[in-house]
Structure 1
Amino acid sequence: MVAGLTMDDNNNSFQIRVNGYESSLIDLTIGTYTSVDEMIIEMQAKINSDSNLKDNDISVNITNDAGKLSITSNKYGSSSTVAFTNSDANFISNLGFSGSTSVAGLNVEGMINGISASDDGQYLLSESGDSEGIKLLIEGGALGDRGNVTYSEGLTTVMNDLLDSIIDTNISESSGDVASSQGIIDGKVDSLYKKITDLEEQEEALTYRMDNYEERLYTQFNAMDIAVSNLNNTMSYLESALDALPGYTND
C-alpha cells in the first residue's frame, strides 16, 4: 500500500462483485487512518455489511502482504471470484491493489480409491466404485497421497437393510420371489406366499370338480325327467286302452 491512508471524496468509493453478486456503492469513512490494518478492518466491515452481498451469504477477507492488499471470498472453488467493478480514480492504486481483474478460484482435484473424484470447491466426491458416496473435505497441504479413509455404515443404512428384510419387494409379481428369500422375515413372507398359492390351486381344483359334478347332476336330472314324462305318457295310453275294452267297467 502506498502513502495515502487519508480518505477523501476522490479515493473512498468503490463497488465490488463477489461470486457473481455486485455490491452497492460503498464509501469508506473519510479521514486519516493510523495504520493499514485499521483501514483493512474498515473496508472489510463495509463490504461484509453490504445488503446485496450479505443477503446472498457472501463475505470477504482482506489481507496485507508487504503493502499489497488482496481480497478473497468465503467460498472455495471455481465459482469464487472477486473484482472491482467501479471505483474512484485513485482508489485501487492508492490502496495497493494489483488491479480490478477478477481472479477465479480453483477446485481441488484428486482421486478416491484410485478413481477420479468429482470436485466442488474444497470437496471431493466419489461417484463410482466401492467408495461411491464418500465426500471428503480437503483443507490444503502438499500434493500427493493423503492416507486412508475408513467408514462405517450409519443408522440409516442399518434401518434400510432391516426394512429390506421385512418388505418383500417382489411379492406383487405372479411368482413372488420365493426362489431368492433374504432374511428371516422375508423367508416367512415367502413361506406364507407359498401357502396362499397352494390354497389358490386347491380352490381352483375344487371349483373344477364342483362344476363337473353340477353338470353331471343336471344331465341325470334331465334324463330322469324325460323318463318320468315317458312313464306318464304310457300310463295315459294304458288308461285309454283299458277304457276302450268291451265289457270293461272302471269302478
Structure 2
Amino acid sequence: MLIQLSNGDLFAGLSMLVLVLVIVGLITAFSIARARRRGSTTLALDVTRNASFVMVGLTAVGVVMSGLTILGSPRITLTGSTRDWVHDRQDSLLSPVCDEKGVPDGVALCGSVVHDAPFGTRLTIYLGAVLTLVAWAAIAWAIYNATRRAGERDPFHGSVSRTFGIVAIIVVTTVPMGQVLDQIGMTLTARSLKWTPDAEVPFALEVTLWPFAVAVGLFALSAIFRYGRQLQDEAARLQKETEGLV
C-alpha cells in the first residue's frame, strides 16, 4: 500500500501567491492614481497605508474563510512532521484508504487528507489559524497607524510607539500558541486513524523563530518612536522658551 502525497498544498500556495501579487498591484495602482488626483507628495506613505488597511480586512476575511474551510468540511490535510510520519508508517495503517472506488465510509486517508476528521480536532486547528491571522492583522494595523500619523505630519505621535509595543507582545504570544494548537490538531487528526498497536503517532513541537525576530524589531521601533517623541517635545519646549526670551 503506497500513500501518495497530494499536490493540493503546492497548488493552493501558488494560487495564494498569485492572488497576493494581484492584490498588491491593484492597491499600488489605486494609490498612485488617487495620489496624483489629490496632488499628494507622500506617495510611498499612501501606498503603504492603503496596503496595510487592506491587509487588516483580508485577515478578517481569512478568519471567516478558514472557519468555512476547516469547520465546514470534515476533511483535514495533514502537514509538517505529522504528514511525514503518516507517510513513513503507511504499512502500520489499519484505517481504509481511498482507491479507484472512491472514499470509504468513516475516518479514511486519501493521500495526505484525512476524511471524516473529528470536529474537535478541526476546531483546534481552526483556533490555531485564527491566532496566526490575529498576529498578521496586528502587524498590519501597526503599520497603518504609523503611516496615517506620518501622513498627518505627526510621525512621532504617542499611539505609534504604544501600538508597536502592544503588537510585539501580540505577535510573540499568538503565533507560537497558534503553531502549538495546529500541531496538536494535526496529531489528533492522525491519531483518529486506526493504527497497529506498535504505532503511536508522536507529538512534535514545531515553533518557528520568526515571531520572536519580528517582536524584537517591533520593540525596537517602539523605542525609536518613543525617543523621537521625546526629542520632538524637547525641541518644542526649547522653541517656546526661546520665543519667550525674544
- TM (norm. structure 2) is 0.24
Q: Which structure has the highest helix share of the two?
A: 2
TM norm structure 1 = 0.24
Which structure has the highest strand share of the two? 1
